[in-house]
Amino acid sequence: MKSHTEYLWFNTEKRTQILNITPQLEAALARSKVQEGLMLVNPMHITASVYVNDAEGGLYADILAKLEELAPYGKAYKHHQTGEDNGDAHLKRQLLGQQVTLAITQGRLDFGPWEQVHYAEFDGQRKKRVLVKIIGE
């Protein structure tokens, strides 16, 4: 069994922003030389999501608007009693989905035609890490 670990860094310009990170994951996979296996992609910060969906700007806006409707910024969350102001970001991460596991087949991410992996940041404007863990052969 082979294993391969990488840490990707992202720093979004806006507090809330979606990035297509598929190219970085494909590069990590190439470096791993794994042909058959699984790739876990997990944000190491708890105010962000990694999810798979269409790489389309209108959909990005729809996702952010829906999450803002369901868990608005600036409400009196109990988490704010610690001095934080990002209670909404912790909730948005859970509603969108925390992480994804991807299949590796014949050395490629085994995707349907529209599957792209995204990093969704809900408390950005600082450096954050995403873990890429590959196991296989």
CB of 53 to its own copies, least distance (A): 5
Least distance to its own copies from the beta carbon of 23, Å?
A: 18
Give the separation between CA 26 and CA 50, rounded to whole angstroms: 15
Q: Hey, what are 95's tokens?
A: 């509603």
- Is residue 135 within 8 A of residue 38, CB to CB? The reply is yes
Chain residues in the site for its own copies (CB under 8 A): 1, 3, 5, 36-38, 40, 42-46, 51-54, 56-59, 61-63, 65-66, 70-71, 77-82, 87, 90-91, 93-103, 105, 110-112, 114-115, 129, 131, 133, 135-137
- How big is the chain, counted in residues? 137
- Under 8 Å CB-to-CB from 113, ≥6 apart: which residues? none
Q: Residue for token digits 């608007």?
A: 65
Of 19 and 52, the one with the shorter C-beta distance to its own copies is 52
SS3 136: strand
Cβ distance to its own copies smaller for residue 15 or 116? 116
Contact (Cβ atoms closer than 8 angstroms) between residue 49 and residue 67: no
Nearer to its own copies, 23 or 72 (CB): 72
The count of other CB atoms within 10 Å of the CB of residue 122 is 27
User: Minimum distance between the CB of residue 46 and its own copies, rounded to whole angstroms?
Assistant: 5
How far apart are CB 68 and its own copies at their closest, in Å? 13
Given the complex with its own copies, which of 14 and 66 has the nearer CB atom?
Answer: 66
